[in-house]
């Protein structure tokens, strides 16, 4: 039986993509099971990394009818371990994800598919770890990406500067400005975290 990775489309919102098996480890060729939970949509599939040279997606842009399931075969011709990513996008790139894939011909039940912490995520301060863990569950957000971490740092810096200015300048207008900055940062983070 061919291994399979299940991908949910339109589950939480239009063009949302979520994967059940991340990362995905298999011994060779595999199927991508696309489960559409909403309106019809095109889903684009591709391969990155060494996997792109060793594999081929049989139908790279299938159209999923409303509330249907479709299988797309990924054929892999690798003699040894190969790593890379299965990339999926919908809504003309509005939503996209990368699923880490490792092809290991010796893969079996004893292969550990648990994701390893990257250097970026292991060197984070302890107060950032819960936010990184929460962000990693948000569709389309890579919590270990330097841009995401930079955004979090920028938001924290804005709050710090706002608090510093409010304490140095004793003015109602400045205090109102600080409240606006705090509300904007809190609103942006809550929208990002509640989106999943």
Where a domain ends, among 107, 129, 148?
Answer: 107
What is the phi/psi pair of residue 113, to 5°? -95, 10
Q: 23 and 54 share a domain?
A: yes
- Condensed to tens digits (0 to 9), the pLDDT of residues 56-71 reads 999 999 999 999 999 9
- Condensed to tens digits (0 to 9), the pLDDT of residues 10-40 reads 988 898 999 977 788 988 899 999 999 999 9
Average pLDDT score over the chain:
79
Q: Is the pLDDT of residue 121 over 50?
A: no
Q: 120 and 82 share a domain?
A: no
Average pLDDT estimate for 110-118: 45
Question: Are the C-beta atoms of 98 and 85 separated by less than 8 Å?
Answer: yes
Range of the domain at 97: 3-107
Q: 89 and 7 share a domain?
A: yes
Which residues lie below 8 Å from residue 124, measured CB to CB, with a gap of 6+?
132, 149
Which residues lie below 8 Å from residue 188, measured CB to CB, with a gap of 6+?
155
CATH code for position 20: 2.60.40.10
Instruction: Give the pLDDT of residue 129.
Output: 60
Q: 143 and 196 share a domain?
A: yes
Instruction: Give the pLDDT of residue 142.
Output: 58
Which residues lie below 8 Å from residue 129, measured CB to CB, with a gap of 6+?
none
Question: Are the C-beta atoms of 76 and 51 separated by less than 8 Å?
Answer: yes
Q: 124 and 101 share a domain?
A: no
Measure the CA–CA gap between 23 and 25, rounded to whole angstroms: 7
Q: 79 and 131 share a domain?
A: no
- Condensed to tens digits (0 to 9), the pLDDT of residues 139-186 reads 555 556 676 667 777 777 887 887 788 788 878 888 888 888 888 877
Q: Is the pLDDT of residue 106 over 80?
A: no
Where a domain ends, among 45, 80, 107?
Answer: 107
Q: 87 and 178 share a domain?
A: no
Task: With cut-offs at 50, 70 and 90, classify the pLDDT of residue 87.
Answer: very high
Q: Which of 12, 74, 86 is nearest to 49 (CA)?
A: 86
The tally of domains found in the chain comes to: 2
Q: 145 and 190 share a domain?
A: yes
How many CA within 13 A on the CB side of residue 182?
12
Q: 40 and 125 share a domain?
A: no
Where a domain ends, among 107, 136, 159?
Answer: 107
Q: Among residues of the chain, what percentage have pLDDT more than 70?
A: 76
Q: 67 and 102 share a domain?
A: yes
Q: 79 and 149 share a domain?
A: no
Q: 122 and 195 share a domain?
A: yes
Instruction: Give the pLDDT of residue 117.
Output: 46
Whole-structure pTM value: 0.55
């Amino acid at each position: 039986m061919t291994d399979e990775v299940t991908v949910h489309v339109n589950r939480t919102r239009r063009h949302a993509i979520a994967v059940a098996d991340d990362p995905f480890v298999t011994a060779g060729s595999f199927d991508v099971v696309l489960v559409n939970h909403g309106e019809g949509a095109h889903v684009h599939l591709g391969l990155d990394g060494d996997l792109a040279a060793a594999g081929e997606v049989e139908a790279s842009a299938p159209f999923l009818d409303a509330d249907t399931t479709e299988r797309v075969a990924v054929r892999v011709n690798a003699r040894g371990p190969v790593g890379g990513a299965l990339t999926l996008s919908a809504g003309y790139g509005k939503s996209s994800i990368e699923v880490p894939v490792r092809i290991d011909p010796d893969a079996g039940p004893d292969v550990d598919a648990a994701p390893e912490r990257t250097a970026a995520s292991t060197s984070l301060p302890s107060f950032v770890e819960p936010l990184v863990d929460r962000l990693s569950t948000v569709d389309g957000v890579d919590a270990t990406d330097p841009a995401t971490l930079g955004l979090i740092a920028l938001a924290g810096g804005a709050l710090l500067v706002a608090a510093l200015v409010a304490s140095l300048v004793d003015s109602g207008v400045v205090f109102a400005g600080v409240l606006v900055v705090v509300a904007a940062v809190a609103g942006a983070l809550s929208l990002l975290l509640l989106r999943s």
